[in-house]
Amino acid sequence: MAELPDERVGFVRRIGLFQATALNMSQMCGIGPFVTIPLMVAAFGGPQAVIGFFAGAVLALADGLIWAELGASLPGAGGSYVYLRQAFQYRTGKLMPFLFVWTAMLFIPLGMSTGVLGFVQYLAYLWPDLSPGQGDLVGLAVTAGIVVLLWRRVENIARLTVVLWTVMIASVVLVIAAAFTHFSPERAFTYPAHAVELTAGHFWTGFAAGLTIGIYDYLGYNTVAYLGAEIRAPGRTIPRAVIRSILGIMTIYLLLEIGTLGVVDWREMLDPHSPASSSVASVVLEKAWGRGAADTVTVLILLTAAASVLTGLLGGSRIPYDAARDRVFFRPYGTLHPRHRFPTLGLLTMGAVTAAGFLLGRHTDLATLIQLLTTVMVLVQALAQVAAVSVLRRRQPGLRRPYRMWLHPLPSIVALLGWLVIYGYADRNSPGRYPVEWSLAWVGAGVVAFLVWARREKEWPFGPKRIREEYLHSTNPGPGRLRR
């Protein structure tokens, strides 16, 4: 793929396939499955909760193929920002990329705050007397520490992420191994009456809640796309990293879910006073190998949680940078650190929102935080990118596409249906929290902010549309192509 965009934005392409896959998997398999298994059981009302993880995998793979095609064709800093800018500039000018940056500055750090929240939950297993105030302080300190770790060159972070990825793999493998050494098929596969009743409305409500939790656990398969301007041979690396990380994590999650259900009675997970509801992986280790092993692996899980937050903020901080360079966001966000070449203000802002989201989750619950971040994400990123693939194929047929989506348009249809189910059931699965209304209000405020900005900058609809097709007209084809 063309190497031109990295020169335009000032990034250097240093991240290879192994590091890219490690970045994705570290973000995907952070604290997510260790804290959401009880939530999934509650959504389905029994061990049939494995359906939710499988459904999340199908949606992640379908949506991942969309990211793979867009990332390979448009490997710029900011991921979705670049894709939506290129696809929708012909009709609505800079509205869609502006709205994406507006919403991403909320939903990405909210996602990272769930990792910090999970960190504190598992720390409470090692520190039973941890008070609410102490937990708040620990979470804020972890967030600040991760921002400090990211204050360096990206290749140094990539090497650190490989180490953390190894820790993540070790923690998951140990939990799975412990689970299957004390596995009870009867406990894992004995379902309550009417567990899978497809004609019942409550099943589909639970399915929608489970799908939301499932896709949350897989989020991160797009991390490498946000770093598109820093990926070596992006036309080959981005699709392979996306697809391999999804397939790898899918295998890990299914083993982890089934193994956990075979050791811990699912009713324990529904008891808010039981450790199984907040630190179920530690309980698996304690039941299987004793308290000492549980404490050791809990430390690894804490490192895994920190790794997921680190990689998420690493990728997310690049989004406002590219937008600011294009004058579609506040201009101070368009500055790189003079020595280490990373976007300073984007990192600091997302770190602050992560801290605020963590405090919000501490005083509500994890399920509420997941519903809020997914509904905001669905409107401007997920649904818009489903459309962007088809729009770009029509608007820019000459665009180099080192990778084309398999079985097009089937993955787009599957992704569209999945995202609509998540959004349509959000209010029902989060009563009294109104995630749909909050997401619409946030996007509405973004439209108002865009109009104010557009009038000031004399952009559409108060000025001419400025069409940019720099990827279409790039003359450096770069190495190789992937075949369908």
CB 106 within 8 A of CB 438: no
> What's the pLDDT tens digit per position in 399-433?
999 999 989 899 999 999 999 999 999 999 888 88
Which pLDDT band holds residue 340 (cuts at 50, 70, 90)?
Answer: low
Collapse the DSSP code of 336 into the 3-class scheme (helix H, G, I; strand E, B; otherwise coil) and give the result: strand
In a domain, 296, yes or no: yes
In a domain, 62, yes or no: yes
Q: Which two tokens stand for residue 317?
A: 């901080």
Q: What are phi and psi of 375, to 5 degrees?
A: -65, -40
The residue segments making up the domain with residue 245 are: 12-457
CB 205 within 8 A of CB 425: yes
> What's the pLDDT tens digit per position in 137-184?
999 999 999 998 888 766 566 667 677 778 878 888 999 999 999 999
In a domain, 378, yes or no: yes
Distance CA 126, CA 281 (A): 13
Q: Residue 475's pLDDT is what?
A: 47
Residue 164 CB neighbours (<10 A): 21
Distance CA 181, CA 183 (A): 6
Q: 304: domain CATH number?
A: 1.20.1740.10
* DSSP of 360-410: HHHHS-HHHHHHHHHHHHIIIIIHHHHHHHHHHHHH-TTS--SS--TTTTH
Is pLDDT above 60 for 255? yes
In a domain, 193, yes or no: yes
SS3 content of the chain, % helix, strand, coil (to 5): 75, 0, 25
Whole-structure pTM value: 0.85
In a domain, 349, yes or no: yes
Q: What is the mean pLDDT of residues 46-62?
A: 93
In a domain, 480, yes or no: no
Is pLDDT above 90 for 456? no
In a domain, 476, yes or no: no
In a domain, 212, yes or no: yes
Q: What is the mean pLDDT of residues 335-345?
A: 77
Mean pLDDT for all residues in the chain: 87
Element containing residue 456 per DSSP (H, E): helix 435-457
Is pLDDT above 80 for 477? no
CB 399 within 8 A of CB 471: yes
Is pLDDT above 50 for 91? yes
One-letter amino acid of 445: A
Domain count, the chain: 1
